[in-house]
Amino acid sequence: MTQVRDLPGPRGLPLIGHLHRFSSKQFHLALEKWADRYGPLFQIRLGLSRFVVISDQGAIRSILDQRPRGFRRNSVLADRFHELGLKGLFTAEGDQWRQQRRIVVTALSRTRLATFFPKMAATTARLQRRWEALADRGAAVDICHDMTRFTVDVTMQLAFGIDPNTLETPGPVIQQHLGIIGPGLQRRLLALVPYWRLVPLPADRALDRAVKVLEQEVAAVVRATRQRMAAHPQQEPSNFLEAMLRVADHEGSNLTSADLLAYTSQLLLAGEDTTSYTISWIIYYFTQFPDFFQQAQAEVDALMAPAAALDDFQQTSHLPFIDAFSNEAMRLKSVAPALSLQALVNTELLGCFIPKGTRLIVLLRHMATSEEHFADGDYFAPERWLPNQNGEVTQPHHPQAFVPFGAGPRICPGQNLAILEMRSVLAMLCRNFDLELVNPQRQVKEELAVVMRPDHLQVRLKRRSGVPVHSRQRVVA
């Protein structure tokens, strides 16, 4: 059987391995290029740590399915989060993971989403008013920036029962700090040594400050929730935070206030960047394919007119073209193009012996773009997701190779929430606005900041004629 050290891979340098071959923001692109060259299983070194990189669909699926017993998240990733006080479901293992997973899955269930939908519709209406004001002034919209305002407002309402209304808050909001955490963590994940413990650079101090602000914001939410629960002790928990507080207050619970704060902060982070950057990439593709954008507009007009936005939960599952377009955007611009894991037992992958403790990187996006799984895999073609008149998908198409939310027991528990947010925002956008890139000459590049985002995305919106004018409340841009 092949040993890890015998696997192919690019030539590295002593001590630093391959760290000099890419910038931390472009790590995923380097891995994908090497996968094309060295095949479905190859090795690289990041400093002294050796990683096995996998792009084979069957092997990836088997790894994801064998969690939590066979594989865990990479312990370095967990350490980097935890030393910032960001513990939570994403980096939890063992019993802590089991306990939190149940609570998070219940808090984000479809039943909860159906009840929550009117609040999401109201948050979407705020976004619409914000965009109408910007359109009327002819001002550029920073899409990533506005989408993080939207996702924080939604996640906090659903998971914590608090409405921060950052969409209509003037001046600095929590997102300004959250935006520093992803890039800061990304840099630390690929640092040769944890230098910040001895000599923190200005960027490390900014990262620490951002996490402190997040902690303070979340602490205030936890305090308010405790007070609310104390006033209504008989009421059943209605969201993630209330359920966690119930566990913490249970006699014999070893859940500390610090744990609670950490879990809550990490859930907010997990739901914020991923969804906002996914919606941003979808909007980016709308700017690139005006014909498809018109098709999406026709779909929402037929479904929603004369309303200006989705106002009924049942309507949200009747947007086949927008769903197909979104799938295609997620296939090509997956915000989680790779996952970093670690073997918990000795195992075998594609004929190679993988000893316990081996660090692995699975390339989710690479398998979703390979010709083997999707015909013309590099091309943007939403129709590949739409069945023909006989209900069949006609092009080579391997749905198992498309896992933007991961797979197996640790699949993203926020998937349904994210899809609902996407449908709600995109339907509102298509129904009410036309759009164009502010600077079409400037290429929009991929940038890894734990999740993969557009390095910039500014659009100009124009109100569509013939659509009812939304209430003109004052909105601060």
Asked if 267 is part of the footprint of ligand HEM (rule: CB under 6 A), the reply reads yes
CB of 274 to ligand HEM, least distance (A): 3
Asked if 275 is part of the footprint of ligand HEM (rule: CB under 6 A), the reply reads yes
| Cβ proximity of 349 and 54 under 8 Å | yes
Asked if 81 is part of the footprint of ligand HEM (rule: CB under 6 A), the reply reads no
Nearer Cβ to ligand HEM (45/366): 366
187 C-beta neighbours (distance < 10 Å), count: 19
Residue type, 126: R
Number of residues this chain uses to bind ligand HEM (CB under 6 A): 28
Q: What secondary structure letter does DSSP report for 235? A: S
Asked if 269 is part of the footprint of ligand HEM (rule: CB under 6 A), the reply reads no
Crossing angle of helices 94-107 and 240-249, in 10° steps, is 140
Mark the segment that binds ligand HEM (CB under 6 A) among 39-47, 292-300, 399-407, 437-445. 399-407
The 412-451 contact track toward ligand HEM, x by CB under 6 A, reads xxx--xx---------------------------------
Alpha-helical (H) ranges within 173-289 are: 175-189, 202-231, 240-249, 257-288
440 phi and psi angles, rounded to 5 deg? -65, -20
Asked if 143 is part of the footprint of ligand HEM (rule: CB under 6 A), the reply reads no
Could you give the CA distance from residue 93 to residue 72 in angstroms, rounded to a whole number? 7
Mark the segment that binds ligand HEM (CB under 6 A) among 18-26, 269-277, 320-328, 466-474. 269-277
Interface residue with ligand HEM among 123, 124, 278, 287 (CB under 6 A) is 278
Could you give the CA distance from residue 124 to residue 147 in angstroms, rounded to a whole number? 10
Strands of 433-437's sheet, edge to edge? 140-142, 458-463, 433-437
CB of 75 to ligand HEM, least distance (A): 14
Radius of gyration of the chain (CA): 23
Nearer Cβ to ligand HEM (2/416): 416
Interface residue with ligand HEM among 121, 303, 407, 438 (CB under 6 A) is 407
Nearer Cβ to ligand HEM (104/368): 104
Q: According to the 3-state scheme, what is the secondary structure of 396-457?
A: CECHHHCCCCCCHHHCCCCHHHHHHHHHHHHHHHHHHEEEEECCCCCCCCEEEECEEEECCC
Crossing angle of helices 202-231 and 143-160, in 10° steps, is 30
Interface residue with ligand HEM among 271, 337, 377, 382 (CB under 6 A) is 271
Asked if 340 is part of the footprint of ligand HEM (rule: CB under 6 A), the reply reads no
Mark the segment that binds ligand HEM (CB under 6 A) among 32-40, 254-262, 369-377, 409-417. 409-417
Could you give the CA distance from residue 378 to residue 472 in angstroms, rounded to a whole number? 42
Interface residue with ligand HEM among 59, 89, 222, 244 (CB under 6 A) is 89
Asked if 359 is part of the footprint of ligand HEM (rule: CB under 6 A), the reply reads no
Interface residue with ligand HEM among 25, 80, 187, 410 (CB under 6 A) is 410
Q: What part of residues 49-68 is at the interface with ligand HEM (CB under 6 A)?
A: 64
Asked if 343 is part of the footprint of ligand HEM (rule: CB under 6 A), the reply reads no
Angle at 340 between CA 421 and CA 419, to 5 degrees: 10
Residue 379: burial class (beta carbons within 10 Å; 0-12, 13-18, 19+): exposed
Mark the segment that binds ligand HEM (CB under 6 A) among 8-16, 196-204, 223-231, 265-273. 265-273
User: Which residues of the chain form contacts with ligand HEM (CB under 6 A)?
Assistant: 64, 89-90, 101, 104, 108, 155, 267, 270-271, 274-275, 278, 335-336, 339, 404-408, 410-414, 417-418
